[in-house]
A and B are shown apart, each in its own frame.
Chain A
Amino acid sequence: MKYAKVSFEDVTVGDELPPLHKGPIEQIQLTRYAGASGDFNPIHQDDAFARAAGMGGVFAHGMLSMGFVAQALTDWAGVGTVRKLGVRFAALVRLRDVVTCRGRVLAKSSKDDVHTVELEVWAENQRGEKVVSGRATLALAARA
């Protein structure tokens, strides 16, 4: 179910997030993300600039892919649950790529009524290559 909220008790180590498919990435989305984020680096907008920089053409903001990963987490666990999200940008996302965000529960713990879940998270392109990899910590509510 979209915009669900999982309870701490319903999460088991090894559980996988429902995959979130984003894209295909279009130039207009990169322009829109530039405007919304304030990151106007021409390397994401201007193909000639990106080629001259040796990047072989325009590529997506890493932060856009990180936004996708955050969405995969909040679609599953609910908004306001993310306590920590850290990622490495492992490969470039190009125009027309489809990005699939995934995650897996690594650990659960409870301390002082705070129930946290640790996940590994990643995003891959349509060839299955990792473009983002990282870790997330979510705080989940327990069932009353």
Chain B
Amino acid sequence: MPIQVNTSVVGKEYPPFPVTVERGKIKDFARAIGDLNPFYLDDRVGAASEWGDVIAPPTFAVTFRDERADAGALLRDLGVDIARVLHGEQEFEIVRQLTPGETYLCRTKVVDIYEKTGKSGPMAFVVRETAITDRTNEIVATMRNVMVIRL
């Protein structure tokens, strides 16, 4: 019996949460990927760069999490166990580079839920968008996440 997903979650906006980018977090993230680019890892290279500091790799914003607004909160709302979840799609739009010491505000919203039947059976697709803004409320980056739930 396929499970039911609570589709009334569409349109839900999660509580905005602030994130301050830590220098060490950028470096740990780059090293975990095995990307040893000195613009992420070497403070002197960063200081001499056009950004005046190291910058974060393109996918770094995925580390911006808050337990009231993350995948765990979404799964509770959907009534779905984490063992059923796969990452379907991900997109980043980057307007400005993320740099250490900066504080950003993240706002996540559920924009769509739809069902499809694939090779491995029925699946639900949950689409979330996260807008990342700076202190002056300018958009710095956006993320779009498609979570796949095996029903």
Chain A residues in contact with chain B, CB under 8 A?
Answer: 3, 22, 29, 32-33, 35-39, 41-43, 49, 52-54, 61-64, 66-68, 70-71, 73-75, 79-80, 82-89
Contact = CB atoms under 8 A, between A and B. Distances in A.
Given A3-B37, A80-B39, A86-B91, 17 more contacts: A32-B31, A35-B28, A35-B32, A37-B63, A42-B82, A62-B86, A63-B62, A67-B59, A68-B34, A70-B33, A70-B59, A74-B35, A74-B58, A79-B55, A82-B92, A84-B91, A84-B93
Chain A to chain B: the 10 pairs with minimum beta-carbon distance, closest first: A86-B91, A36-B32, A67-B33, A53-B83, A62-B87, A70-B58, A79-B39, A71-B35, A82-B58, A36-B28
A135 B144 CA distance: 14
Given A36-B25, A41-B85, A66-B90, A86 B65 contact: no
B29 interface: yes
A89 B88 contact: yes
A22 B66 CA distance: 30
Contacts of B29: 36-37
B65 A66 contact: no
Interface of B: 25, 28-29, 31-35, 37-40, 50-51, 55, 57-59, 62-63, 65, 71, 82-95, 97, 144, 150
A41 B88 contact: no
Contact of B97 (A36, A37, A80, A85): A80
A95 to B, nearest CB: 15
A116 B32 CA distance: 29
Contacts of A22: 34
A63 B55 contact: no
Nearest to A64: B33
23 contacts: A3-B38, A32-B32, A36-B29, A37-B29, A37-B62, A37-B63, A38-B63, A41-B82, A43-B82, A43-B83, A49-B83, A63-B87, A64-B32, A67-B32, A67-B35, A67-B59, A70-B35, A70-B58, A79-B57, A87-B89, A87-B90, A88-B89, A89-B86
Nearest to A67: B33
A38 B17 CA distance: 16
Contacts of B87: 61-63, 89
Contacts of B32: 29, 32-33, 35-37, 64, 67
B51 to A, nearest CB: 7
Contact of A74 (B25, B31, B37, B63): B37
A18 to B, nearest CB: 15
B31 A36 contact: yes
A138 to B, nearest CB: 10
